[in-house]
Amino acid sequence: MNRTIYSLLLGLSILLGTACKRESLMTYVSADNIYFDYIAGADPATDYLGRYTDSIELTFSFSDGSVQDSTIGIPVSVTGVAQSYDRTFRLIVDPSSTARPGVHYELPAAFVLPAGKIKDSVFIHFKRAADLKTAAQTLLLHLEDSDQLKAQLKFRGTNPRESNMYISDTVLMTSFRINLTDMLSAGPYWSMDYEYSFGTFSEKKVRLMNEIVGMPLDFWSRPATTNEQRATITYYGGFTARYLSDQAFAGNTILEADGVTPMKMGSRFP
């Protein structure tokens, strides 16, 4: 009986030892990676998670003339677990960038992920330079490998709810572009949510809509995710379409800034 129990215990020890060795063989250490983690348009009130993006537009055109600068944070995240020490990472400006340091922007002196964190932001100070009223400027950033954090994750799906196995659209994870301007522009949501009612974007058109129907000059800077927003889009578009029609009927056709093209709304209002 004792011999049988001893044999069983010996066999169990061998099995456990083998399992431990097998587990140790399967364990590996991979470098932590850093990547941009910007989500645009999230709205907790409607359970809309937004979209991952690798570019944003920063415009001073919605701000009062007294506003001469703005600081924004570009979120970054790392794989793996938080560490008990600060970790430095490498961020460079692409030579193709037209924004000039000291004139249009200022970057931090060093890029550090603080101890205990796996998420943080790179804060960039932007300046309202005079030339932004006539030409947009771009700042293209790249994350690169450093001694402590790699930058080897290249792309991801745009939908936070979407599995990487079923990616329908992708964004870059180690590159990020900021388009800087002091002019009104279409922004990222115009073609998707507003063009059907408002037509081709023009600064003259949206300023007219602001004047005659009271549309805020940042109205189209957000995605249209609710029925109320969509109804408001329809109202603004329909009101302006009727106004343009009435003006044309009265012999006062409203033209675009080129002085030739008649202003039109979207295909919803032919």
Amino acid letter at 261?
T
Q: Total structural domains in the chain? A: 3
Does 138 lie in the same domain as 56? Answer: yes
C-alpha 178/C-alpha 161 separation (Å) is 25
Q: Are 43 and 57 contained in the same domain?
A: yes
Q: Do residues 48 and 72 share a domain?
A: yes
d(CA 269, CA 248): 15
Spatial contact of 205 and 258, defined as CB atoms under 8 Å apart: no
Q: Which domain holds residue 191?
A: 184-270
State percent of the chain over pLDDT 90: 71
Final residue of a structural domain among 130, 162, 181? 181
* 43 in the same domain as 158: yes
- Claim to verify: residue 123 and residue 247 sit in the same structural domain: no
> How much is the pTM?
0.69
Q: So what's the pLDDT on residue 163?
A: 54
Ranked by mean pLDDT, the top range of 26-35, 57-66, 180-189, 238-247 is 238-247
- Which residues 6+ apart lie within 8 Å of 219 measured at CB? 232, 236
Which tens digits make up the pLDDT trace of 115-153? 999 999 999 999 999 999 999 999 999 999 999 999 999
Sequence-distant (6+) residues with CB within 8 A of 154 are: 172, 173, 174
6 and 103: one domain? no
Residue closest to 161 by CA, chosen among 55, 75, 49, 79: 49
* 128 and 172 share one domain: yes
User: Of 157, 181, 205, which one is at a domain's C-terminal end?
Assistant: 181
Indicate whether 22 pLDDT > 50: no
- 14 shares its domain with 39: no
Domain limit, last residue, from 156, 181, 206: 181
| CA triple 67-222-230, angle to 5 deg | 135
203 lies in the same domain as 257 = yes
CB 217 within 8 A of CB 61: yes
Question: Which residue, chain included where needed, has tokens 């994870």?
Answer: 173
Q: What rounded mean pLDDT belongs to the chain?
A: 88
**Residues 169 and 38 occupy one common structural domain:** yes
Tens digit of pLDDT for each residue in 70-123? 999 999 999 999 999 999 999 999 999 999 999 999 999 999 999 999 999 999
| 160-175 pLDDT, tens digit each | 766 554 556 889 999 9
Whether 66 and 154 map to the same domain: the answer is yes
If you write DSSP's letter for every residue of 139-201 in order, what string do you get? EEEEEE--SS-B----EEES-TTS-GGG-SSEEESSEEEEEEESS----SSIIIIIHHHH-S-
Structure tokens at 172: 């870059």
8 and 76 together in one domain: no
CATH number, domain of 53, equals 2.60.40.2030
